[in-house]
């Protein structure tokens, strides 16, 4: 569908800007058409910015999840290799407030 038409209730209607320009014998209709175009351009700019922000947030979320998995794996390795005292790795994990033996943790 072109920029000059929109679909409403199953029928194709001519875009309001095109109509205003077609019937714009007076300056008010032409100015109204220009204002609508300006507002649409602003809206499109905002939408583009929002879409870029959402993509960046999705990437940051994926990176955070990856780093959390890496952190948890490193903690498990430390817990399993630690002979901190005679109580062993679980005591060390508890002392550090880590849950080294749980797969999904956000601590």
* Domain-embedded: residue 103: no
Tens-digit pLDDT profile for residues 65-87: 999 999 888 888 887 777 656 67
- pLDDT tier for residue 103 given thresholds of 50, 70 and 90: low
Q: Is residue 105 part of a domain?
A: no
**Residue 107 domain-assigned?**
no
Note whether residue 34 is domain-resident. Answer: yes
Instruction: For the full predicted model, state whether its pTM sits above 0.85.
Output: no
Q: Give how many domains the chain has, as a whole number.
A: 1
- Tell me the per-residue pLDDT of 34-67, one tens digit each, with 9 for 90 and over: 999 999 999 999 999 999 999 999 999 999 999 9
Look at 32 and 59; give whichever has higher pLDDT.
59
Domain that holds residue 44: 5-96
Distance CA(5)–CA(15), nearest Å, equals 5
């Amino acid at each position: 569908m072109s920029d000059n038409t929109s679909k409403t209730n199953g029928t194709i209607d001519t875009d309001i800007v095109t109509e205003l320009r077609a019937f714009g014998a007076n300056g008010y209709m032409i100015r109204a058409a220009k204002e609508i175009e300006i507002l649409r351009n602003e809206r499109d700019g905002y939408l583009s910015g929002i879409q870029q922000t959402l993509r960046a947030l999705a990437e940051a979320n994926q990176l955070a999840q990856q780093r959390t998995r890496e952190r948890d794996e490193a903690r498990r390795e430390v817990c399993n290799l630690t002979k901190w005292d005679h109580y062993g790795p679980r005591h060390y994990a508890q002392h550090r407030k880590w849950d080294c033996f749980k797969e999904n943790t956000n601590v």
